[in-house]
Amino acid sequence: MARRRSNNEGSIYQRKDGRWVAQLSVDGKRLSKYFKTQRDARAWVKEMQTKINEGLTYLGMNVTLEEYLKEWLLTTKMTLRPKTFIQYTQIVNQHILPALGSRKLQDIRPDMIQTCYNHWIAQGMSARTVRLNHAVLHKALNHAMKLGMIGRNPTDLATKPRITKTEMKTFDDTQVRTFLLAAQGARLYALFNLALTTGLRQGELLGLKWSDIDWNTRKISIQRQVQRLRGQGVIFSEPKSSAGRRKIAIGKQTVEVLRTHYQQQQIEREFAGDRWVENDLVFPSTLGTPLDSRNLFRIFKEILQQTSLPNIRFHDLRHTAATLLLQQNVHPKVVQERLGHSDISLTLNTYSHVVPGMQEEAADKMDELLTMTDVSDALGNPPVRQESIKKTRV
């Protein structure tokens, strides 16, 4: 019989029935596990000692992934926006728990997670959804590491599927004019105009209030967005990120469009009478309540059907605004701030399709700047470069 070891080392011994017992002390509590061979028992003790040194606790040894994730959702709810929390909950309940929920938290291995990813892809799940599942599970297990429930995050070693980048659909400047011409006279003409001149998100447009507009400085403040949540209806929420809370300059023509829209809204308010619900919204329903995005979608598609324009999404108006700004040589940093992107790299990566044209223009400008001009005279003097750069007085 193998000698017993101290609690710190763990102990291994053989039972009368021939099985080997490995025991280990964690947080003052003894854990036991049975094996067919002494070698397997020793390997388990060594593995557990490593995990304990990495921060594994007794709680992490016994709780299932399902038990942990349900508690984690309650903990993280206070830090998430309502729509994000609902999305996290759906991902956990619909995807992660059916696949791994019954497993012990400390037993989750990278190969198990990889098998899940591969299975989801084989079943037809999109790469984007798999990556969302990965992001939620990774965040949850990172929290478990901080609590000392596991020693490492097994999702770090799993390979996420690559998302195939689809070609972005946008209007060119001619198509924008065609669309706005077709939208003239529509109740939401001002909304479409503002979407194309600012690149605001749909929720930001629907959450915009008259008090957010500074008529003197011609700036609008983005402070909220409208979202529709299952079981709660339409709600106001914070911008998508801290960068989303921003001020955007608008042109004089856009200001006039908004003034006309304001006057038309006063007529609607009078017509609605007591049915009007005052929310100070720039683009409300005909009763003053937040506009349902489904109605906006319907009106948008009706306008597209009146033209021969491509059948794009409403969100593509945002992409159109950004693309046209970049094509007009507006600095990417300004575009980033107008769009509310948290980092300029996101702007550049999203609109990389615009860069080739900008590269060619930059090359042509440098050629023009540095090209030698033949100004040699009849005496055979060598050509002199035509300076394009103004001399500085000293």
pLDDT tens-digit readout, 45-93: 887 777 777 666 665 567 899 999 999 999 999 888 888 898 999 999 9
What's the pLDDT score for residue 111? 94
How far apart are the C-alpha atoms of 30 and 137, rounded to whole Å? 29
Predicted TM-score (pTM) of the model is 0.67
Judged on CB neighbours under 10 Å (0-12, 13-18, 19+), 202 is buried
pLDDT tens-digit readout, 105-115: 988 999 999 99
Distance of CA 10 to the CA centre of its chain: 47
**Residue of 33 and 73 predicted with greater confidence:** 73
Mean pLDDT on 334-338:
93
What's the pLDDT score for residue 3? 45
Mean pLDDT on 261-286:
96
pLDDT(303) > 50:
yes
Contact between 103 and 65 under an 8 Å Cβ cutoff? The reply is: yes
**Percent residues over pLDDT 70 in the chain:** 87
What's the pLDDT score for residue 1? 46
> What residue spans of 101-212 are helical by DSSP H?
110-122, 127-146, 173-183, 189-198, 202-206
Every domain range in the chain assigned CATH 1.10.443.10:
174-306
- Amino acid letter, 111: D
Using DSSP bridges, classify how beta strands 225-229 and 233-237 pair: parallel, antiparallel or unpaired: antiparallel
**Angle subtended at Cα 374 by Cα 372 and Cα 380, rounded to the nearest 5 degrees:** 130
pLDDT tens-digit readout, 198-225: 999 999 999 999 999 999 999 999 999 9
pLDDT(389) > 70:
no
What's the pLDDT score for residue 7? 41
What's the pLDDT score for residue 250? 95
Cβ-based neighbours of 170, under 8 Å, separated by 6 or more? 312, 316, 319, 320, 323
pLDDT tens-digit readout, 146-201: 887 887 899 999 999 988 777 788 999 999 999 999 999 899 999 999 999 999 99
Mean pLDDT on 98-120:
92
Mean pLDDT on 302-330:
93
Name the class of domain 174-306.
Answer: mainly alpha
What's the pLDDT score for residue 124? 87
Mean pLDDT on 292-316:
93
Q: The domain 65-157 is classified under which CATH number: 1.10.10.10, 3.40.190.10, 1.10.150.130, 1.10.260.40?
A: 1.10.150.130
**Residue of 167 and 273 predicted with greater confidence:** 273
Every domain range in the chain assigned CATH 1.10.150.130:
65-157
SS3 249: strand
